[in-house]
Structure 1
Amino acid sequence: MTTAVMAPWNFVYRLLASKPRAAKTMIHDISGVVFPGETMIVLGQPGAGCSTTLKIISIERGSYLAGEGTVTYSSVLSDQIAKKYASEVVYNAEDDIHHPRLKVQDTLDFSLYLRRPAHNCDKTSKEFSVEMTGIVLESLGTIHTKQTIVSNSFLRGVSGGEKKCVSLAEVLAVDPAIACWDNLIRRLDSSSALHVLSFLKQISSATRMSNIVTIYQASESMYQDCFDLVPLSLLPLNEVSAETTSGLFPEHRTNFRKPSKRAPAEVSFTIEARSILIKQHKLGLIHRLAFIIAQTVTEIPVAVVQALVFSCYYYFILGLYKSASDFWTFALILFTQFGAVSSLFRMLGAWAPNLNIALLMAGSAMPIFLTYVDYGPQVPTMHQWGSWIRRISPRPYALEALMGNEFSDVTLHCTPEQMVPNVPTYNDMRYQGCMITGSVKGSDEAAGST
C-alpha cells in the first residue's frame, strides 16, 4: 500500500531530480568461436557480465544502451538472424516463466505440438507431442511430474529444480541451433545438476546444437565432463583464482583470443522478468497477434454467461420494462461494455512496465472514469478541464444506451405540480406545458425517447 501511494511522488521526484546515468562498460575485448555440437561455459561472478555475454550472443540486446562489434552465425549477421531465424538462436533466462496452472505435460505438449517437423514425420502433431513429451521428461528424470501443475509463488506444484527442467525441455522442444542458458543449474542439487549438464552435452553431440551456459556454482566434474570450451573468466584480473579458471585452462581448448581494443560500451537497465507471451514469441511458438485474437475469442463465452446471469437477476429485480427485445438489448449492452472494460485493463497492463504500476493505474482509472460517467455530476455541471474523460471511457456510452433502451417505449406524464404555469386559478391545458424535455405545449405527456 505504501509503495502504491508513494509511486506518483517518487516518479515526479526522479523526473525532476534525476541525473543522466553514466554509461558502464559491461564486456569488452572478447572474441571467439563456438562450433556446432560444442558446449561452452562462461565463468564469472554475479555482475561480471556473464548474462550480458549470453544476451549479446542470443540477440537479446534491447535492455542495453549501445554496443560495438559483430556476432555472426555461420557467416550470417545477427540482424538477419533476428528478422528471419529468431527461433534458431534462443536465450533461456534465469527465471522460469510458465503458465502456473498448466500441467507439465500440457506445457510441453503445446511447444512440441507447434514445433512438429513438417517433413520426414509420419505422426500427427498430437501423436508427436505426446510421444516426445514422454521421451524428454524421461531423459530429464522428471517423468513423475507429468500430471503436476507448474505452479508459481502462490500455487503449489513442481519444485524449483523440476521447474528448471521444464524450462530446459521447452527450449529443447524448439530445437534451436544455438541455445544460451543463464544459470541453468539454479535450484538443482549437485547430482541433478550434473545429470542435466550431461544430458545437454549428449544433445549437443547428437544434434550438432551449440550450447552456451553460465554457472555460478559448479563442481570439477561438471567442468571436465560436460563442456568443450571454458573461455577466460569475466572476473576482474586481480580477482582470478585457481578455484575458478586458471587450473582448468590447461585441460580445455579455449578458442578465444584478445583482439584489438574496440571497447564496446553497453549499459544494462534492469528489467522485470519477461512475460510468457514475449518468451513464446521469441521461441517461435506463437505470434503476438494470434495470442491477442485467441485471448479475445476465448473470453467471449465467459462474458456472455456473466452478462446473461447478471441481466436475469438485475433486470427483473429492478422491474425494468418487461419486453423480450428490451431484455436482450440490455444483455447485449452489458456484454459489449464488459468487453470494452476488459480491453481497457489489458491496455493499461500493456503500457505499465511492471505489476505494481499496472495495479496503480487500474486502481486510479476506475474512479476517474466512473466520476465522469454522466450519472453523478451531469454534463452541464462537469468541470471543463475533466469533462473530456467521458468521451474516452466506455461507461458513459453504456449508461446512455441502457437509458435509451429503457425509456424508448415509455410515455412520461407530468403531474399538475410540474405544469407551467402552475397557479391554482390557471389550469387550462391548452396554455400550459410540461417541464420535461421533449414535451409539446398543451400536453402533459412526453415521449421517453426524447
Structure 2
Amino acid sequence: MTKTEKLAVFSHLNGEWAPCGLLSLTQDGVCTVGSTFAYGTRYIDRANALEIDPVALALKNKPEIKGKALLPPAGLTLFGGIRDAAPDAWGRRVIESKLKVPPNSLPESVYLLHAGSDRVGALDIRPNLQSGEMIGVGEIRTLQYLMEAADRIEEGLPIPANLEPIFVAGTALGGARPKATIRDNAGCLWLAKFSGRNETVNLPWVEYGTLQLAREVGFVVPSVKVEKIGDRSVMLIQRFDRYWDQPDSQPVHAGADTLVLDRPGNGRIEKRLAFISGLTLLGCHETESITKSYGDLANAIRKYCHPAVVMADTKDLFRRMVYNIFVTNKDDHLRNHGFVWDPELMGWRLSPLYDVTPNTSVAQDRYLHLSVGPRGRYAHLDNALAAHSLFRLSERRAAEMIAQVWEKVRQWKVSFEVSGVPGEQIDKVQTAFRHIDDISTAELRKKTK
C-alpha cells in the first residue's frame, strides 16, 4: 500500500543545526516510488544556506524555487543529496540488526531516520522539526567492543546489551566493509574500518599503505593510522567532513585547509562540510554507475563545481584515474568519488581522497569500475592518455602527469615498508601494483620521458 511520509531535514551551519526543509517520501512497502523536497522560506533567505545538492536542489536562483516542491532529476525517486545522507550497505545491516528484521526489509524512511546525526556531511533527517539530534559516537576505548559487535552482525548473530554502541556508531556509514565512527581522546572524529576474521589480506594495513603512498604522489589525503586490537587490525581515517574552528572565524577552504583544523580547545567548535557523491553530481541511480566514465565526472565538475577549482579538480581527477590503474583499484565506483562544499568559495569541489584499495590479480588485462577512455573500462595507460581532452589537458601535459604518478608508485614497496605495513602483507598484495611496462606501449613511455 502506498504511503507518503514527511520528514524534517536539518542543515549544520557554522556549528549549529538549522531547519532546512521538508522531505516527502512516497513509499510502497520497502520501495520508494517518489519524493519531493521544499526548502524552508526562512532557510532559503539565509546568506550561508547550504544547498542539498547542485543538480536538483541548487540555490542559485532562490526566488524561483522559494515555496516550491521540487522533484528529483532524471526520473529518480530520491534526491541524490538525500541519498548520500542515508546509510549504505554496512549501515543498513547495522540498523536491521538493531531492529531485528531481515535484510532489505525496511522502507527508506526508516533507514534515513535511524542513521543518526553523525552521518556523513552536514545534513540530518528527523521525524519532525521539533525533534532533537541523535548523538552517540563510540570512543577509542570501545574499539574492541565495536569490532566484536561488527563480527556478530556479519555472522547474523544477535547483539548483547554491552555491544549495543554499534547501533549508533555504525549506522550512518556506507560501503560493505564493517566500520564505525569513533572519537579519540581529544574529541576528534575518525572512521574505523575493521579487518575481517577470514580475510586473506589485511585490508586495514593495505588501504593504509595505499593512502600513504597517495599522499606521496601529491593527493590530499586525510590522516590515517592503524590500531591493533588483539590479533586484528583497524584502520582509522580522519573524517574530512568535520573540522574545528572558532564560531566567528572567517570561512576557510575545504580540503587541505580544513584537515589541519583537527583539534578542539580554545573555544573552537566542531563544524561540518556538506558532502555529495559522484552519483549525485551525475544525477544517476546506483545501477548506472558502471555505465559512467571519468570523463562524465570531469564534465560534471565543470558544470557544478566552483569555477575557481574546476581546472585543478579535473587535473586531480585525471591523476586519480591513473593512480587507480597503477594500483588496480577496481572499487572506483561513483560513491567513492566525493565532493564537499567549500565554506570560503561557497561552492562544491572535489573531496580529499578516500577508499582506495588495491585488488590483487594475475590477469594481464584488468578493468576499473568507471570507464577510462575510448577503450572503455580497460585499465591501461594508453587508454587514459587517449582521454586527455576530456580533462582539458594537452597530450603532453597528461603524459607528464602519468610520469609524475609513476615516479612515486614505482617505489610502492619502499613506501609501504616506511609506513610500517607488515612484510607478509606487502607480499600478498604485490600483484595489484602494476609496472608501467605492463600497462603502456613503448610509444607512450617515450612521451613520459
> Which TM-score bucket, shorter chain as reference?
under 0.3
Bigger relative contact order, structure 1 or 2, given CA contacts below 8 A and separation 6+?
Answer: 1
User: What is the TM-score normalised by the length of structure 1?
Assistant: 0.23
Larger helix proportion, structure 1 or 2? 1
Q: Which has the higher strand share?
A: 2
**TM-score, normalised by the number of residues in structure 2:** 0.23
